[in-house]
Structure 1
Amino acid sequence: MKIRILLVLASLLMVYNANAQFRFGVEAGVNVSHAMETTGTKAGYNVGVTADYSFSNNIFIESALKLSSQPYGDSGPIGTYYWDKLKNEMEEYCSESVSPNYLILPIRLGYSFILSDKCRLSLSAGPTFGVGLFGRGNLKYTGPADGTVEKEKIKNIFDNEDGRELSRFEVGGSFRLGFTFREHYCIGGEYNIMRVTGEHRPFTHINVFAVNVGYKF
Protein backbone atom coordinates (compact mmCIF):
# COMPACT_ATOMS: atom_id res chain seq x y z
CA MET A 1 0.00 0.00 0.00
CA LYS A 2 2.79 2.39 0.89
CA ILE A 3 4.56 1.61 -2.39
CA ARG A 4 1.39 2.44 -4.35
CA ILE A 5 1.04 5.75 -2.52
CA LEU A 6 4.67 6.60 -3.26
CA LEU A 7 4.18 5.70 -6.93
CA VAL A 8 1.10 7.92 -7.14
CA LEU A 9 2.93 10.82 -5.48
CA ALA A 10 5.90 10.35 -7.80
CA SER A 11 3.59 10.35 -10.82
CA LEU A 12 1.89 13.54 -9.65
CA LEU A 13 5.28 15.16 -9.08
CA MET A 14 6.40 14.20 -12.60
CA VAL A 15 3.22 15.66 -14.10
CA TYR A 16 3.67 18.81 -11.99
CA ASN A 17 7.28 19.24 -13.12
CA ALA A 18 6.33 18.61 -16.74
CA ASN A 19 3.74 21.39 -16.60
CA ALA A 20 6.00 23.81 -14.74
CA GLN A 21 8.18 26.16 -16.78
CA PHE A 22 10.92 28.49 -15.61
CA ARG A 23 11.92 31.42 -17.82
CA PHE A 24 14.28 34.38 -17.60
CA GLY A 25 13.90 37.71 -19.34
CA VAL A 26 14.96 41.34 -19.56
CA GLU A 27 12.74 44.39 -19.15
CA ALA A 28 12.95 48.18 -19.20
CA GLY A 29 10.47 51.01 -19.02
CA VAL A 30 9.40 54.47 -17.92
CA ASN A 31 8.28 55.34 -14.37
CA VAL A 32 5.91 58.13 -13.35
CA SER A 33 6.18 58.69 -9.59
CA HIS A 34 4.43 60.90 -7.06
CA ALA A 35 5.04 61.02 -3.32
CA MET A 36 1.76 61.53 -1.48
CA GLU A 37 2.87 64.41 0.74
CA THR A 38 4.58 66.35 -2.08
CA THR A 39 3.40 68.57 -4.92
CA GLY A 40 5.36 67.28 -7.92
CA THR A 41 5.02 64.31 -10.28
CA LYS A 42 8.16 63.28 -12.15
CA ALA A 43 9.34 60.73 -14.71
CA GLY A 44 12.03 58.12 -14.10
CA TYR A 45 13.11 54.75 -15.47
CA ASN A 46 13.40 51.08 -14.59
CA VAL A 47 15.62 48.34 -16.03
CA GLY A 48 16.45 44.81 -14.95
CA VAL A 49 15.96 41.07 -15.28
CA THR A 50 12.79 39.01 -14.81
CA ALA A 51 12.02 35.43 -13.83
CA ASP A 52 8.73 33.55 -14.33
CA TYR A 53 7.65 30.15 -13.05
CA SER A 54 4.51 28.58 -14.54
CA PHE A 55 2.59 26.12 -12.38
CA SER A 56 0.14 25.37 -15.19
CA ASN A 57 -0.94 26.80 -18.50
CA ASN A 58 -2.58 29.71 -16.68
CA ILE A 59 -1.20 30.12 -13.15
CA PHE A 60 2.28 31.56 -12.65
CA ILE A 61 4.52 33.44 -10.25
CA GLU A 62 6.76 36.22 -11.52
CA SER A 63 9.58 38.24 -10.06
CA ALA A 64 12.14 40.81 -11.13
CA LEU A 65 15.30 42.48 -9.92
CA LYS A 66 15.41 46.05 -11.19
CA LEU A 67 17.08 49.39 -10.82
CA SER A 68 14.18 51.81 -10.43
CA SER A 69 14.34 55.61 -10.41
CA GLN A 70 11.52 57.16 -8.36
CA PRO A 71 11.97 60.95 -8.48
CA TYR A 72 9.73 63.44 -6.73
CA GLY A 73 9.44 67.20 -6.35
CA ASP A 74 8.01 69.53 -3.75
CA SER A 75 7.70 73.22 -2.96
CA GLY A 76 6.25 75.36 -0.21
CA PRO A 77 7.00 77.41 2.92
CA ILE A 78 9.55 75.97 5.31
CA GLY A 79 9.52 78.42 8.20
CA THR A 80 8.64 81.83 9.63
CA TYR A 81 11.05 84.73 9.47
CA TYR A 82 10.85 88.43 10.54
CA TRP A 83 12.60 90.24 7.75
CA ASP A 84 11.44 93.83 8.13
CA LYS A 85 11.55 96.32 10.95
CA LEU A 86 7.85 95.94 11.69
CA LYS A 87 8.38 92.26 12.53
CA ASN A 88 5.74 91.15 10.06
CA GLU A 89 5.48 87.38 9.81
CA MET A 90 6.85 86.22 6.48
CA GLU A 91 7.79 82.79 5.13
CA GLU A 92 10.78 81.42 3.29
CA TYR A 93 10.00 79.11 0.38
CA CYS A 94 11.88 76.03 -0.71
CA SER A 95 11.58 74.00 -3.89
CA GLU A 96 13.27 70.63 -4.20
CA SER A 97 13.86 68.02 -6.86
CA VAL A 98 15.09 64.62 -5.67
CA SER A 99 15.91 61.48 -7.67
CA PRO A 100 16.28 58.38 -5.47
CA ASN A 101 17.28 55.13 -7.19
CA TYR A 102 16.19 51.82 -5.68
CA LEU A 103 16.95 48.16 -6.25
CA ILE A 104 13.45 46.64 -6.21
CA LEU A 105 12.21 43.05 -5.95
CA PRO A 106 8.52 42.48 -6.81
CA ILE A 107 7.04 39.00 -6.32
CA ARG A 108 3.61 38.55 -7.91
CA LEU A 109 1.18 35.67 -8.32
CA GLY A 110 -0.75 35.82 -11.57
CA TYR A 111 -3.22 34.30 -13.99
CA SER A 112 -2.97 34.42 -17.78
CA PHE A 113 -5.71 34.30 -20.38
CA ILE A 114 -5.17 32.93 -23.89
CA LEU A 115 -6.50 35.53 -26.32
CA SER A 116 -5.14 33.84 -29.44
CA ASP A 117 -2.38 31.50 -30.57
CA LYS A 118 0.08 34.38 -30.45
CA CYS A 119 -1.18 36.57 -27.61
CA ARG A 120 -1.78 36.20 -23.87
CA LEU A 121 -3.22 38.60 -21.30
CA SER A 122 -1.95 38.31 -17.73
CA LEU A 123 -2.98 39.84 -14.40
CA SER A 124 -0.77 39.60 -11.31
CA ALA A 125 -0.36 41.09 -7.85
CA GLY A 126 1.91 40.70 -4.85
CA PRO A 127 4.39 42.38 -2.50
CA THR A 128 7.44 44.35 -3.57
CA PHE A 129 10.54 45.39 -1.66
CA GLY A 130 13.12 48.10 -2.34
CA VAL A 131 16.45 49.29 -0.99
CA GLY A 132 17.87 52.72 -1.82
CA LEU A 133 21.23 52.70 -3.59
CA PHE A 134 22.00 56.27 -4.61
CA GLY A 135 20.35 59.53 -5.63
CA ARG A 136 20.87 63.27 -5.93
CA GLY A 137 18.89 66.24 -4.73
CA ASN A 138 18.63 69.92 -5.64
CA LEU A 139 17.20 72.50 -3.22
CA LYS A 140 16.40 76.15 -3.87
CA TYR A 141 15.53 78.60 -1.08
CA THR A 142 13.82 81.92 -1.83
CA GLY A 143 13.71 84.66 0.79
CA PRO A 144 10.39 86.50 1.20
CA ALA A 145 11.70 90.05 1.41
CA ASP A 146 14.14 90.64 -1.43
CA GLY A 147 13.74 87.34 -3.28
CA THR A 148 17.24 86.19 -2.37
CA VAL A 149 17.86 82.75 -3.83
CA GLU A 150 20.16 80.15 -2.32
CA LYS A 151 20.82 76.79 -3.96
CA GLU A 152 22.04 73.56 -2.42
CA LYS A 153 23.01 70.23 -3.96
CA ILE A 154 22.92 66.87 -2.19
CA LYS A 155 25.26 64.30 -3.70
CA ASN A 156 23.72 61.23 -2.06
CA ILE A 157 20.32 61.58 -0.42
CA PHE A 158 20.74 58.22 1.35
CA ASP A 159 23.97 59.29 3.05
CA ASN A 160 23.78 63.02 3.75
CA GLU A 161 26.25 64.51 6.23
CA ASP A 162 23.85 66.99 7.81
CA GLY A 163 21.44 64.31 9.01
CA ARG A 164 18.70 64.81 6.41
CA GLU A 165 19.26 61.49 4.68
CA LEU A 166 16.30 59.58 3.23
CA SER A 167 15.51 56.18 4.72
CA ARG A 168 16.76 53.45 2.39
CA PHE A 169 14.02 50.86 2.67
CA GLU A 170 10.57 50.73 1.11
CA VAL A 171 7.92 48.02 1.01
CA GLY A 172 4.53 47.87 -0.66
CA GLY A 173 2.20 46.23 -3.15
CA SER A 174 2.59 45.71 -6.89
CA PHE A 175 -0.12 45.21 -9.52
CA ARG A 176 0.54 44.37 -13.17
CA LEU A 177 -1.41 43.95 -16.41
CA GLY A 178 0.59 42.61 -19.33
CA PHE A 179 0.48 41.14 -22.81
CA THR A 180 2.83 38.51 -24.23
CA PHE A 181 3.19 38.11 -27.99
CA ARG A 182 4.66 35.07 -29.75
CA GLU A 183 5.74 33.69 -26.35
CA HIS A 184 8.70 36.11 -26.17
CA TYR A 185 7.74 39.79 -26.55
CA CYS A 186 6.11 41.54 -23.59
CA ILE A 187 4.48 44.87 -22.86
CA GLY A 188 2.79 45.79 -19.61
CA GLY A 189 1.70 48.38 -17.11
CA GLU A 190 2.48 48.31 -13.39
CA TYR A 191 1.20 50.21 -10.39
CA ASN A 192 3.23 50.12 -7.18
CA ILE A 193 2.30 51.81 -3.95
CA MET A 194 5.33 51.90 -1.65
CA ARG A 195 5.68 52.77 2.01
CA VAL A 196 8.98 54.33 3.05
CA THR A 197 10.07 52.93 6.40
CA GLY A 198 12.35 54.39 9.06
CA GLU A 199 12.61 57.74 10.83
CA HIS A 200 14.12 59.96 8.12
CA ARG A 201 11.47 60.46 5.46
CA PRO A 202 9.93 63.58 3.90
CA PHE A 203 6.91 61.46 2.92
CA THR A 204 5.38 58.14 3.98
CA HIS A 205 4.17 56.70 0.66
CA ILE A 206 5.10 57.00 -2.99
CA ASN A 207 3.01 55.89 -5.98
CA VAL A 208 4.86 54.59 -9.04
CA PHE A 209 3.20 53.82 -12.38
CA ALA A 210 5.36 52.13 -15.01
CA VAL A 211 5.03 51.11 -18.66
CA ASN A 212 7.51 48.40 -19.62
CA VAL A 213 8.64 46.38 -22.62
CA GLY A 214 10.59 43.14 -22.35
CA TYR A 215 11.77 39.90 -23.87
CA LYS A 216 11.51 36.38 -22.42
CA PHE A 217 14.09 33.77 -23.38
Structure 2
Amino acid sequence: MSPLAELLLVLVVLGMAVKLLLLNFWRAVLFVSPGSVRLLPVVPAEGMQVPPGLAPLASELQALGFVPLGSHVEKPRFQKGTPSYDFAHAGEHTFATLHFSPRGEPRVYLLTPLAPEGFVLTAGHPRPGFEVPGRYRSGGFLESSPERLLQFHRVRLLGLQPSEDFTWEERLRLGQAWYRGLGQREIRRQNLQGLLWTVVALAIVAGLFLGGGRPV
Protein backbone atom coordinates (compact mmCIF):
# COMPACT_ATOMS: atom_id res chain seq x y z
CA MET A 1 0.00 0.00 0.00
CA SER A 2 1.35 3.43 -0.95
CA PRO A 3 2.05 5.96 1.83
CA LEU A 4 -0.77 8.18 0.53
CA ALA A 5 -3.31 5.35 0.54
CA GLU A 6 -2.17 4.32 4.01
CA LEU A 7 -2.57 7.89 5.26
CA LEU A 8 -6.06 8.11 3.80
CA LEU A 9 -7.00 4.83 5.47
CA VAL A 10 -5.68 6.07 8.81
CA LEU A 11 -7.70 9.29 8.49
CA VAL A 12 -10.88 7.40 7.61
CA VAL A 13 -10.48 5.03 10.57
CA LEU A 14 -9.63 7.95 12.87
CA GLY A 15 -12.71 9.83 11.67
CA MET A 16 -14.91 6.83 12.40
CA ALA A 17 -13.42 6.52 15.88
CA VAL A 18 -13.98 10.22 16.61
CA LYS A 19 -17.59 9.94 15.43
CA LEU A 20 -18.14 6.96 17.74
CA LEU A 21 -16.71 8.95 20.63
CA LEU A 22 -18.91 11.98 19.92
CA LEU A 23 -22.01 9.80 19.81
CA ASN A 24 -21.28 7.61 22.81
CA PHE A 25 -18.84 9.22 25.26
CA TRP A 26 -21.60 10.99 27.21
CA ARG A 27 -23.41 7.66 27.56
CA ALA A 28 -20.25 6.08 28.93
CA VAL A 29 -20.01 8.88 31.50
CA LEU A 30 -23.66 8.30 32.38
CA PHE A 31 -23.01 4.58 32.84
CA VAL A 32 -20.09 5.24 35.17
CA SER A 33 -21.75 8.10 37.07
CA PRO A 34 -25.58 8.14 36.83
CA GLY A 35 -25.77 10.59 39.71
CA SER A 36 -23.97 13.22 37.63
CA VAL A 37 -27.25 14.05 35.85
CA ARG A 38 -28.57 17.39 37.11
CA LEU A 39 -32.19 18.49 37.31
CA LEU A 40 -32.27 22.23 36.65
CA PRO A 41 -35.49 24.19 37.24
CA VAL A 42 -36.53 26.42 34.34
CA VAL A 43 -39.81 28.18 35.16
CA PRO A 44 -42.64 27.58 37.66
CA ALA A 45 -46.22 26.82 36.63
CA GLU A 46 -47.22 30.39 35.82
CA GLY A 47 -44.43 30.71 33.26
CA MET A 48 -44.49 27.17 31.84
CA GLN A 49 -45.24 26.98 28.12
CA VAL A 50 -45.79 23.44 26.86
CA PRO A 51 -44.58 22.95 23.25
CA PRO A 52 -47.30 22.33 20.64
CA GLY A 53 -46.18 18.73 20.19
CA LEU A 54 -46.89 18.03 23.87
CA ALA A 55 -50.02 20.18 24.19
CA PRO A 56 -52.54 17.35 23.52
CA LEU A 57 -51.01 15.24 26.31
CA ALA A 58 -50.99 18.27 28.63
CA SER A 59 -54.69 18.86 27.94
CA GLU A 60 -55.50 15.21 28.69
CA LEU A 61 -53.59 15.37 31.95
CA GLN A 62 -55.40 18.53 33.04
CA ALA A 63 -58.77 16.97 32.14
CA LEU A 64 -57.87 14.16 34.57
CA GLY A 65 -57.21 16.68 37.35
CA PHE A 66 -53.45 17.17 37.04
CA VAL A 67 -52.22 20.71 37.65
CA PRO A 68 -49.08 22.28 36.13
CA LEU A 69 -46.06 22.60 38.42
CA GLY A 70 -43.27 23.96 36.23
CA SER A 71 -40.60 22.89 33.78
CA HIS A 72 -37.08 21.60 34.28
CA VAL A 73 -34.14 20.27 32.27
CA GLU A 74 -32.50 16.90 32.94
CA LYS A 75 -28.90 17.43 31.92
CA PRO A 76 -26.28 14.68 31.66
CA ARG A 77 -22.68 15.79 31.32
CA PHE A 78 -21.68 16.83 27.78
CA GLN A 79 -25.33 17.12 26.65
CA LYS A 80 -27.75 20.02 26.30
CA GLY A 81 -30.34 18.24 28.40
CA THR A 82 -33.98 17.20 28.00
CA PRO A 83 -36.69 19.79 28.69
CA SER A 84 -39.44 18.29 30.87
CA TYR A 85 -42.85 19.64 31.88
CA ASP A 86 -44.21 18.64 35.28
CA PHE A 87 -47.76 18.18 36.58
CA ALA A 88 -49.19 16.75 39.79
CA HIS A 89 -52.41 15.20 41.06
CA ALA A 90 -52.33 15.14 44.86
CA GLY A 91 -55.52 13.08 45.04
CA GLU A 92 -53.92 10.35 42.92
CA HIS A 93 -50.57 10.72 44.74
CA THR A 94 -48.92 11.07 41.35
CA PHE A 95 -46.63 13.36 39.39
CA ALA A 96 -46.78 13.41 35.58
CA THR A 97 -43.96 14.56 33.31
CA LEU A 98 -44.03 15.30 29.59
CA HIS A 99 -40.98 15.33 27.33
CA PHE A 100 -39.81 14.42 23.85
CA SER A 101 -37.88 11.24 23.12
CA PRO A 102 -34.49 11.51 21.35
CA ARG A 103 -36.43 10.94 18.09
CA GLY A 104 -38.85 13.76 18.83
CA GLU A 105 -41.79 11.60 19.92
CA PRO A 106 -44.07 13.03 22.65
CA ARG A 107 -43.87 11.02 25.87
CA VAL A 108 -45.50 10.98 29.29
CA TYR A 109 -44.66 9.12 32.47
CA LEU A 110 -46.20 8.98 35.92
CA LEU A 111 -44.17 8.97 39.12
CA THR A 112 -45.32 8.30 42.67
CA PRO A 113 -42.91 8.63 45.60
CA LEU A 114 -43.27 6.02 48.33
CA ALA A 115 -43.00 6.42 52.08
CA PRO A 116 -40.49 6.31 53.61
CA GLU A 117 -38.47 5.82 50.40
CA GLY A 118 -39.02 4.52 46.90
CA PHE A 119 -40.81 5.11 43.59
CA VAL A 120 -43.42 3.70 41.24
CA LEU A 121 -42.76 4.83 37.66
CA THR A 122 -45.18 4.05 34.83
CA ALA A 123 -44.29 5.22 31.31
CA GLY A 124 -46.54 5.59 28.27
CA HIS A 125 -43.94 3.98 26.01
CA PRO A 126 -42.01 0.68 26.01
CA ARG A 127 -39.74 0.46 29.05
CA PRO A 128 -38.26 -2.73 30.51
CA GLY A 129 -39.86 -3.67 33.82
CA PHE A 130 -37.76 -3.55 36.97
CA GLU A 131 -38.69 -4.05 40.61
CA VAL A 132 -37.17 -3.85 44.05
CA PRO A 133 -39.87 -5.39 46.29
CA GLY A 134 -41.60 -2.79 48.43
CA ARG A 135 -39.38 0.04 47.22
CA TYR A 136 -39.42 0.38 43.44
CA ARG A 137 -41.48 -0.56 40.41
CA SER A 138 -40.90 0.71 36.88
CA GLY A 139 -42.27 -0.29 33.51
CA GLY A 140 -43.94 0.99 30.37
CA PHE A 141 -47.07 0.45 28.30
CA LEU A 142 -47.03 1.01 24.55
CA GLU A 143 -48.94 4.05 23.24
CA SER A 144 -51.11 4.45 26.33
CA SER A 145 -53.22 7.59 26.76
CA PRO A 146 -52.77 9.48 30.04
CA GLU A 147 -56.14 8.15 31.25
CA ARG A 148 -55.23 4.55 30.49
CA LEU A 149 -51.77 5.06 31.91
CA LEU A 150 -53.22 6.36 35.17
CA GLN A 151 -55.36 3.23 35.43
CA PHE A 152 -52.27 1.05 35.04
CA HIS A 153 -50.44 3.19 37.57
CA ARG A 154 -53.17 2.80 40.20
CA VAL A 155 -52.95 -0.97 39.91
CA ARG A 156 -49.19 -0.90 40.26
CA LEU A 157 -49.51 1.16 43.46
CA LEU A 158 -51.62 -1.46 45.22
CA GLY A 159 -50.04 -2.57 48.49
CA LEU A 160 -47.63 0.37 48.61
CA GLN A 161 -47.72 3.57 50.68
CA PRO A 162 -47.38 6.82 48.71
CA SER A 163 -45.86 9.91 50.30
CA GLU A 164 -47.86 13.14 50.62
CA ASP A 165 -45.72 15.98 49.24
CA PHE A 166 -46.61 16.88 45.64
CA THR A 167 -44.99 20.29 45.27
CA TRP A 168 -42.69 21.19 42.39
CA GLU A 169 -39.73 21.42 44.77
CA GLU A 170 -40.40 17.86 45.86
CA ARG A 171 -40.68 16.72 42.22
CA LEU A 172 -37.23 18.13 41.48
CA ARG A 173 -35.77 16.60 44.63
CA LEU A 174 -37.24 13.19 43.80
CA GLY A 175 -35.89 13.30 40.26
CA GLN A 176 -32.39 13.99 41.55
CA ALA A 177 -32.77 11.24 44.14
CA TRP A 178 -33.81 8.77 41.44
CA TYR A 179 -30.60 9.39 39.48
CA ARG A 180 -28.50 9.03 42.60
CA GLY A 181 -30.24 5.96 43.97
CA LEU A 182 -32.86 3.48 42.75
CA GLY A 183 -32.64 4.56 39.11
CA GLN A 184 -28.94 3.81 38.70
CA ARG A 185 -29.32 0.18 37.71
CA GLU A 186 -31.74 1.09 34.92
CA ILE A 187 -29.52 3.91 33.70
CA ARG A 188 -26.54 1.61 33.49
CA ARG A 189 -28.56 -1.00 31.62
CA GLN A 190 -29.75 1.64 29.13
CA ASN A 191 -26.25 3.01 28.53
CA LEU A 192 -24.13 -0.14 28.51
CA GLN A 193 -23.95 -0.09 24.70
CA GLY A 194 -22.64 3.48 24.80
CA LEU A 195 -19.89 2.41 27.19
CA LEU A 196 -18.89 -0.50 24.92
CA TRP A 197 -18.76 1.69 21.81
CA THR A 198 -16.66 4.25 23.68
CA VAL A 199 -14.18 1.53 24.66
CA VAL A 200 -14.02 0.37 21.03
CA ALA A 201 -13.40 3.93 19.78
CA LEU A 202 -10.66 4.55 22.35
CA ALA A 203 -9.04 1.24 21.43
CA ILE A 204 -8.99 2.27 17.76
CA VAL A 205 -7.42 5.63 18.54
CA ALA A 206 -4.85 4.01 20.82
CA GLY A 207 -4.05 1.42 18.18
CA LEU A 208 -3.51 4.10 15.55
CA PHE A 209 -1.07 6.08 17.66
CA LEU A 210 0.71 3.24 19.44
CA GLY A 211 0.86 1.23 16.26
CA GLY A 212 2.69 3.92 14.37
CA GLY A 213 -0.37 5.14 12.52
CA ARG A 214 -1.41 1.79 11.11
CA PRO A 215 -5.08 0.76 11.55
CA VAL A 216 -5.51 -2.14 13.96
TM-score interval w.r.t. the shorter chain?
A: under 0.3
Higher strand residue share:
1
Higher helix share: 2
- Decide which structure has the larger Cα Rg and report it: 1
